[in-house]
Amino acid sequence: MSGIRWILTCAGCYALYCLLLFLLQRHLIFPSLFVGLPDDPSLPEFVERLWVSVPGAKVEGWFLPSDISKESPRPLVIFAHGNGELIDWWPETFRGLNRRGLHVLLLEYPGYGRSLGKPSQKNIARAFCAAHDLMTQRPDVDASRIILFGRSIGGGVACALASQRSSAALILTSTFTSLHPFARRYLAPSFLLRDPFDNKAVVSSYAGPVLIVHGTHDTVVPYAHGKALAQAARHSRFVAYDADHNDCPPDWEAFFDVLVDFLEQTRVL
């Protein structure tokens, strides 16, 4: 009987562990950083602030206009950041794309920074779809040349958006195939995942060109994930950097040259 009790005790402890992971997983995936920031941030003068409202969420967006040909519609990059970041961190970096003739939209996640709501794959995708629809109505945006760009968990956001809205190209940096392998890291069954972000499935069915970028020494999302995404895509270019997770790419200006070359070679630009 002692052996049966031991087995039952272990099974009960494992079941409790899985229950806790199920309940807390979104706090692990989406830390909801810096809640309660000042309502009126000190914005760079080139940033246009906007808000996107969807059921259960109101998210902040920063539009960075192209420096070139403001009289005619320009391509737009919609950027989704990592799970431990905010849109506040990115305007100066993405000015590099403005100088190369592209608009950029930085959109926050529900529950992050000044944005309201709770982060989840469904809620974030809903907000990004609404932002996509809003931006394609602008006369200064070329709706036929929307480029989706995601970093880390943002790659999952970009793929979720790509599965629901049209786009001209998809760019994924330091992105995973899905979150199922990460569930196994925690010794938990993957069916418990509430936000699986099955990026490989989206990439494999995506008709447009895909640029995959990954660090060879990525300790958060293994390099093999980037290779697998590139192999799954119909039309892909894979770029590897001698970098870890948070320093990939190591030189953003040099990477933007690669990005623009990719868009030109695939006739998006």
Q: What does the pLDDT look like over 63-82, one tens digit per residue?
A: 999 998 677 899 999 999 99
Q: How many CB atoms lie within 10 A of CB 245?
A: 18
Burial 169-181 (b: 16+ CB within 10 A, else e): bbbbbbbbbbbbe
Q: Are 127 and 110 in contact, with CB atoms under 8 Å apart?
A: yes
Q: Give the three-state DSSP class for 166.
A: coil
Mean pLDDT confidence for 172-196: 83
As beta bridge partners, residue 23 has: none
Mean pLDDT confidence for 130-142: 96
State the pLDDT at residue 23. 64
DSSP 124: H
pLDDT one-digit tens code per residue, 81-90? 999 999 999 9
State the pLDDT at residue 31. 81
* Strands of the sheet with 103-107, listed across from one edge: 48-54, 57-64, 103-107, 74-80, 141-151, 169-173, 210-215, 236-241
The pLDDT of residue 8 is above 80: no
Nearest to 221 by CA among 172, 256, 262, 148: 172
State the pLDDT at residue 187. 64
CA 18 to chain centre: 27
Instruction: Say whether pTM exceeds 0.95.
Output: no
The more confidently predicted of residues 191 and 21 is 191
State the pLDDT at residue 27. 78
**Burial bucket for residue 204 (CB in 10 Å: 0-12, 13-18, 19+):** middle
d(CA 18, CA 121): 20
d(CA 256, CA 142): 20
Pick from 21-30, 173-182, 255-264: least confident: 21-30
Mean pLDDT confidence for 120-129: 97
Q: Are 193 and 186 in contact, with CB atoms under 8 Å apart?
A: no
The pLDDT of residue 238 is above 90: yes
Domains of the chain in sequence order = 46-265 (3.40.50.1820)
Mean pLDDT confidence for 21-25: 66
Half-sphere exposure of 72 (CA within 13 A, CB side): 5
Instruction: Give the pLDDT band (50/70/90) at residue 14.
Output: low
Work out the mean pLDDT of the chain and round it to a whole number. 90
pLDDT one-digit tens code per residue, 36-52? 666 777 788 889 999 99
